[in-house]
Amino acid sequence: MKQVKGYIQRKSMLYKTRVEYGDYTMNHVLGCAHGCLYPCYAYLMKKRFGQIHSYEEWLQPYLVSNTLELSDKEIPRLKSNIRSVQLCFTTDPFMYEYDEIRDMSLAAIRKLNDAGIVCSVLTKGILPHVLASYSKDNTYGITLVSLDENYRRRVEPGAAPYKDRIEALRYLHEQGCKSWVSIEPYPTPNLIQQDLHEILKAISFVDKIIFGRTNYNKTVTAYSKHDDFYNEQAFKVIQFCKENGIAYHIKNKTMTKSLKQIIEENHEK
Ligand code: SF4
C-alpha cells in the first residue's frame, strides 16, 4: 500500500465539465501517481496554471480531506441538475495501490448513489469488487491502449498492469454492472507495433468501447500516415463492436473520413 503525500482542503467539489462525454465531475485528489507520459492533459493544465511545478510533484498525490463534507453540502443543492458524475477528470479515483484514495472514492460514490445520482468511473487502477453492490446504474470503465506491459511501464509507469485492470472490470461486468473501455490515446505504430484486434478480443465482454486518437504527442503527428492509420483503426473498432453487439463511440477528430468513405475504400481493396 502507498501513502498519499499529504492532505489539502478545497472550497467546492462537484462541478460541470465541458468535455465531449460528461456532465458533472469531481476531483478529490491533486496529482496522480500513474504519471502517464502521453502526456497527461490534467498534468499539463495544472502545471500551466501553477498548481503543480514538476512531473515529480505530480506523482505525489494529495487527498482532499474535506471531500465528503463538501459532497454533503453540494449534493442537495445540485442534485436536480446532475445527470451523472464522472470520477475523475484530473486525477484517478482508484489510483493503483493507494487504499486511502480508493476508500474516499468509494465513500463519495456511495453518497452520490444514495442521493439518486449515477456515477461514471474511469480508472487505470483496479476497480474494487465491492462496487458490484453499488447502484447498477453506475458505469465502470478502464483505459486500455495496449496489452504489452513493456509499453505500459513506458507510458503509464505507475498504473495497474493491464491484465489486472481487465480482470477487475470483467468481475463487475459478470456481477451485472455496466462496463466500458476507453481505448485512448491509441498509439501509432512508430510508438508500438501491435494488433488492435487482440485488445478488442480481450475486452469483448464489455458493454461499450470508446476509441480515440492522441492529439498532444508530437511523436504521433511525426508519423506521416496518422490520419489513414486512425481511420483504419476506428473502422476496426466499429466493425468489431457491430459484430459483437457492443456500443461504441469514436471520439471527435479521430476519423478524418466518413464511415461510408472508409467502407467504400475497404471494398475496393
Ligand atoms: S491516470 Fe489520468 S490523471 Fe493520472 S496521470 Fe494518467 S492520464 Fe493523468
The CA distance from 220 to 213, in Å, is 9
Best residue among 17, 34, 38, 59 to mutate for probing ligand 1, ranked by most atoms within 8 Å of CB: 34
- Answer positive or negative: Cα dihedral of 244, 200, 19, 77: positive
Instruction: Name the closest-CA residue to atom 7, ligand 1.
Output: 40
3-state helix, strand, coil in the chain (%, to 5): 40, 15, 45
C-alpha cell at 13: 467539489
The CA distance from 211 to 186, in Å, is 8
Answer whether residue 222 shows pLDDT above 80.
no
The CA distance from 48 to 251, in Å, is 25
| Mean pLDDT value across the chain | 93
Q: Are 127 and 94 in contact (CB under 8 A)?
A: yes
Q: Are 159 and 121 in contact (CB under 8 A)?
A: no
pLDDT in tens, 155-212: 999 999 999 999 999 999 999 999 999 999 999 998 999 999 999 999 999 999 999 9
Instruction: Name the closest-CA residue to atom 3, ligand 1.
Output: 91
CA–centroid distance, residue 32 to ligand 1 (Å): 6
Q: What is the pLDDT of residue 259?
A: 72
In the chain, the amino acid numbered 137 is D
Best residue among 32, 95, 143 to mutate for probing ligand 1, ranked by most atoms within 8 Å of CB: 32
Instruction: Band the pLDDT of 226: cuts 50, 70, 90.
Output: confident
pLDDT in tens, 53-112: 999 999 999 999 999 999 999 999 999 999 999 999 999 999 999 999 999 999 999 999
Q: Which domains does the chain have, with CATH numbers?
A: 14-180 (3.20.20.70), 184-269 (no CATH)
CA–centroid distance, residue 267 to ligand 1 (Å): 39
β-bridge partners, 249? 210
Report the percent of the chain where pLDDT is more than 70: 95
CA–centroid distance, residue 158 to ligand 1 (Å): 9
β-bridge partners, 253? none
